[in-house]
Structure 1
Amino acid sequence: MTDLTTLLEVGGPVAAIGGGAAYTRAKHPGVYWSTVGLPISTARLLGSYSSVMEACGLTVAPSRLRVLAVKATTRREVRPVPPRRGIIRPTSTGLRIRLRLAPGQEPADVAASAERLRHAWGVHAVYVSTVKPGVVELRLVGFDVLRRVRMPRKVATGLLKVPVALRGDATLFVRDYRAIPHQLTLGATLSGKSMYLRHLVAGLARQPVALVGIDCKRGVELSPFAARLSALATDPEQAAELLPVLIQEMEERYELIKSRQGLAPATPDEEITSDVWGLPEDERPVPIVLFVDEVAELFLVATRKDEERRDEMVTQLIRLAQLGRAAGIYLEVCGQRFGAELGKGATMLRAQLTGRVCHRVNDEASAKMALGDIAPEAVSAACAIAPESPGLAVAGDSSGGWSRIRTPYLSLGDAAGICRESAHLVPDLPALKPFRLDVPVRPVESPAPAVQPRPVTD
């Protein structure tokens, strides 16, 4: 009886603690990391740093001065020298540590050993980034932050900057139209492409920009946001009428820039500009973001007349992609399928779209079309996205870098509500008024009086 009591007294709390830790790790990985994972991983890193670096081949032979100093002061064996370690900085999702590389090492050597470091220190992932020449930063992620996406509460935003997703290294993925003017976003049905588009529209709806949409699925994707859209085309026929208006708007803005350049010789250099952002704020036209959903519908033709219209629209899209940035016009081209077989102009349009986001696609050719020309190794990562992970995507740009991202859930009703609340921010662009949908204004229900009035009797 005494043994049973002792077993219950000792084993009960141990089982409760173990079960609680397992539950917390599965349901609340952030809490588990802060309480259990962080101390364990820090102890592993401090205790095994030198041996792990040596096993990964990240050490160099000691200098002659170091060898002489060690032999003169001690009799211990002279070991290879690992990169100098900086201060360990814990975060809510992992650890950050900077390494000063030894002479002869390069950041690619550390990046090649990231998988080994992950297993040695018991973390979910290790990412390597260059801080400055000779210094790299290791970002250790303690758990899978893309399984349940939680955006940071405090997000630094600005004009034409929209935080839309979370990266695999727990940093924000911000869609910055000033840095990457045009982007191609691909994704099959139920891949999360529409969710990504909702975040973009909802984020831009609160900013002083004009939103224009071309939704060839009869407007089912963009019509809920009509209250905030300056123009919306719901079929190829309307798109063929809208695109020339945008071209005309772009040419007028170029005329404005040219008139500004015709200044007197004594004009200061800071007043000379080559785009709308160099104009004075009171003269600067409002930025325009054009969303094109189901871009493949613009390429498909059935008759010779449709083919002529298609060629005109594709040419206009290419012109907007080539010249729109300086005029403050930006493109967000979306679709389920995009390939060279769509027809003339497809690859030329893709070449002008700097940013690329590829969700789960139904064929490898679409992933290659999105990422193959900028980051070939990202194609396999995009093809490996499972249907059970909607919102997961691979993002890249023309610099060759790429990363896994995932968009948090945003309901269509919430996104539409944001657009209705921001309807007063729709800019006045007379050329686009014929293409704006008439959105009925919802009547405001007056609250019932707290005290019911009584009729006056004689």
Structure 2
Amino acid sequence: MTDLVTWAELGGSLAAIGGAAYARHAHPAAYWSTVGLPISAARLLASYTSTMDACGLTVEPPRWRALAIRATTRREVRPAPPRRGLIRPTSTGLRVRLRLAPGQEPADVAASAERLRHAWGVHAVYIRDIKPGVVELRLVGFDVLRKVRMPRRTPADHLRVPVALREDATAFVRDYRAVPHELVLGATLSGKSMYLRNLLTKLAAQPVALVGIDCKRGVELAPFAARFSVLATDPDQAAELLPVLVKEMEDRYDLIKSRQGIAPGTLEEEITSDIWGLPDAERPAPIVLFIDEVAELFLVSARKEEERRDEMVTQLIRLAQLGRAAGIYLEVCGQRFGAELGKGATMLRAQLTGRVCHRVNDEASAKMALGDIAPEAVYAACAIAAELPGLAVVGDTSGGWSRIRTPYLSLADAAATCRETAHLAPDVPRLTSFRPYAPPVPVDGSGPVTVPLPVAE
């Protein structure tokens, strides 16, 4: 009987260990909430002072405190670590705020992030500057980009939509008011279409005019035609559309100019330099222009097409330079976007503030997207594996960058969302003639549409 109990206890222990190992691999979020979080929190509390000392993040205490310690306890005065706040657990990690000692800066803590990660047994440690003298440590317990789960509470507003998940478990928000134009690069099957799909469905739920140029005969954007105000599927249609957008932009500038209020008695709140300062009743709807495979607009096969190409590139550059104030925003996608495309390519790329680089086939493509704004991010983009579609490196003109990954969204679900939100497409009179044809939703033919009624005798 004793042997049976012993074997039962041993089997139970092995089963628990095996279950924990399986949960850590298959369900990392559940493993972190039940096992990883208590262990990491205990490590942090038990080794906080010694870890900070080993990382060189301790300073000598003030002289008055050292004298008080010697007078009251007669023990050795040790360097003091940054004052630690309360530990706040999350579904993906831990958060704790530190008050830096005089003479310290956030860069000192950021330089020790890798050491802190190993000391406390977490997946990653990120540092965020809260206010002068206070930083927040964001401890991530597992690889959140392996299986993307967007946060429940994501900041969403007009022209500000969450699209992907950052590696620090926060949402990557595409804010058109702050970053009006964006370049999205990526090789075939890198997840570029998934990023575009998520962005389209989020914008479809807002009163925004969506305009598409898909020179691959519309294979990428045609499923969402019900929500698009305009959809050009070849260079000839794009050549007709772009001058109309430029004329729309010029008309909006005339409207802004007429409402600027140059008279001496005009109130300050009535003076504006963009459409967002106009009254709600007069403000035109914002327009987001999606260009899929931008290289198709630059490539020509005959000399007679070069003039058309130069005109389209010039109009795109004008929209990128002047479109923000008129409420016209660009989302340019492609596999490569360098000077070899032709005249005007680098000038247009310079106007695209936001940069998103998925997996690319060569280092030169990554440099086209990130080399001029965040050189360190080029190597991170080249290290993206083919087994992780949707993983990308996002950078901005401030030099900062981070890894993101878009959640999976099926084409059928995205198309259904666009059909359901088709009524939200705002009316832009100049674009009415370009409205794409959206086929009606098929009706299930398994039964009659109407129930037949018997004829009264």
**Aligned-partner SS, 2:259:** helix
The residue aligned with 1:298 is 297
1:412 maps to a residue whose letter is L
- Is the aligned partner of 1:394 residue 2:414? no
Q: TM-score, normalised by structure 1?
A: 0.96
Residue equivalent to 2:413: 414
Please, which moves more after superposition, 269-278 or 149-158?
149-158
* 2:151–2:170 Cα contact (<8 Å) kept: no
Letter in 2 for 1:85: R
Rounded to whole Å, the distance in 1 between the matches of 2:416 and 2:55 is 53
Distance in 2 separating the partners of 1:77 and 1:373: 52
- 1:290-343 C-alpha deviation (Å, 9 max, x unpaired): 001101111112222222222111111111011000000000000011112222
Does residue 87 of structure 1 match 2:82? no
Shift of 1:455: 4.4
CA distance 1:201–1:451, change in 2 (3 Å): closer
| Equivalent residues in 2 for 1:239-388, closer than 5 Å | 239-388=238-387
Please give the residue correspondences for 1:85-234 in structure 2 after superposition, counting only pairs within 5 Å: 85-234=84-233
TM-fit CA distance, 1:452: 6.7
Contact kept? 2:155, 2:161, Cα under 8 Å: no
Task: Check the 8 A contact 2:181/2:351 in 1, yes or no.
Answer: yes
SS in structure 1 opposite 2:229?
A: strand
Cross-structure match for 1:55: 54
> Helix, strand or coil for the counterpart of 2:40?
helix
In the TM superposition, what is the alpha-carbon distance from 1:21 to its structure 2 partner?
1.2
Q: CA deviation at 1:61?
A: 2.1
- Partner Cα distance (2:8, 2:428) in 1: 76
3-state secondary structure, aligned to 1:217:
coil
Q: Distance in 2 between matches of 1:349 and 1:69?
A: 65
Residue 431 of structure 1, CA deviation: 1.9
Distance in 1, Cα, partners of 2:224 & 2:8:
61
Q: Per the alignment, in what secondary structure is the counterpart of residue 115 of structure 2?
A: helix
Query: Quick one: distance in 2 between partners of 1:402 and 1:449?
Result: 55
1:122 Cα deviation after fit: 0.1
Q: How many angstroms does 1:165 deviate by? A: 0.4
**In structure 1, distance between residues paired with 2:390 and 2:313:** 29
Q: Deviations along 1:215-234, whole A, 9 cap, x unmatched?
A: 11111101111111111111
User: For 1:302 and 1:452, how far apart are their aligned partners in 2?
Assistant: 60
Amino acid at match of 1:10: E
The reply on whether 1:404 has 2:403 as its aligned counterpart is yes
- Amino acid aligned to 1:330: Y
Report what 2:436 is aligned to: 437
- Matches of 1:125 and 1:184 in 2, distance apart? 28
Provide the rounded CA distance (Å) in 1 between the counterparts of 2:6 and 2:243: 82
C-alpha change, 1:444 and 1:266, in structure 2 (3 Å) is farther
The 3-state SS of whatever aligns with 1:229 is coil
Q: Secondary structure at the match of 1:297?
A: helix
Determine what percentage of the aligned residue pairs are the same residue: 77
Between the aligned partners of 1:129 and 1:242, the Cα distance in structure 2 is 44
Which is further off, 415-424 or 298-307?
A: 298-307
Shift of 1:70: 1.9
Which residue of structure 2 aligns with residue 6 of structure 1?
Answer: 5
Alignment-derived partner of residue 32 in structure 2:
33
**CA–CA separation in structure 2 for the residues paired with 1:243 and 1:443:** 33
Shift of 1:448: 5.9
8 Å CA contact 2:211, 2:288 repeated in 1: yes
CA contact (8 A) 2:155 2:173 kept: no
| Structure 1 letter corresponding to 2:289 | L
Paired with 2:93 and 2:427, the residues of 1 have a C-alpha distance of 47
Quote the residue 2:63 is aligned against: 64
Deviation of the 1:72 alpha carbon: 1.4
- Equivalents in 1 of 2:314, 2:250: separation in Å? 15
Q: Does 1:45 align with 2:44?
A: yes
Greater displacement, 101-110 / 321-330: 101-110
CA distance in 2, matches of 1:293, 1:450: 43
Which residue identity does 2:132 align to in structure 1?
Answer: P
Q: Distance in 2 between matches of 1:448 and 1:294?
A: 44
Counterpart CA distance in 2 for 1:105 and 1:444 is: 67
Q: 2 CA distance for matches of 1:449 and 1:210?
A: 34
Range with greater deviation from structure 2 (204-213 or 428-437) = 428-437
After TM superposition, the structure 1 stretch with the greater mean CA deviation from structure 2, 279-288 or 16-25, is 16-25
Shift of 1:262: 4.0
Give 1:9 deviation, angstroms. Answer: 2.8
Letter in 2 for 1:114: A
CA distance in 2, matches of 1:284, 1:161: 18
Deviation at 1:264, TM superposition (A): 3.4
Distance 1:433 1:109 in 2: 57
CA distance in 2, matches of 1:402, 1:146: 16
Paired amino acid for 1:270: E
State the alpha-carbon separation in 2 of the partners of residues 427 and 260 from structure 1.
22
Alpha-carbon distance, 1:152 to partner: 2.4
Q: Secondary structure of 1:164's match? A: strand
> Which amino acid letter does the alignment assign opposite residue 400 of structure 2?
G
Secondary structure at the aligned position of 1:261 is classed as coil
Post-superposition CA distance 1:43-99 (Å, at most 9, x none): 100110111111111111222222222221223222111111111111111000111
User: Normalising to structure 2: TM-score of the pair?
Assistant: 0.96
88-97 or 426-435: which moved more? 426-435
User: 2:28 and 2:255 mapped to 1: Cα distance?
Assistant: 54
After superposition, give the CA deviation of every residue in 1:160-190 in whole Å (9 maximum; x if it has no partner): 1121100001000111111110000001100
Mapped to 1, the partners of 2:450 and 2:324 lie a distance apart of 56
Deviation for aligned residue 1:451? 8.1
Letter in 1 for 2:433: P
Q: Which runs of 5+ in 2 are unaligned?
A: none
How many pairs were matched up? 456
Separation in 2, partners of 1:333, 1:6 = 67
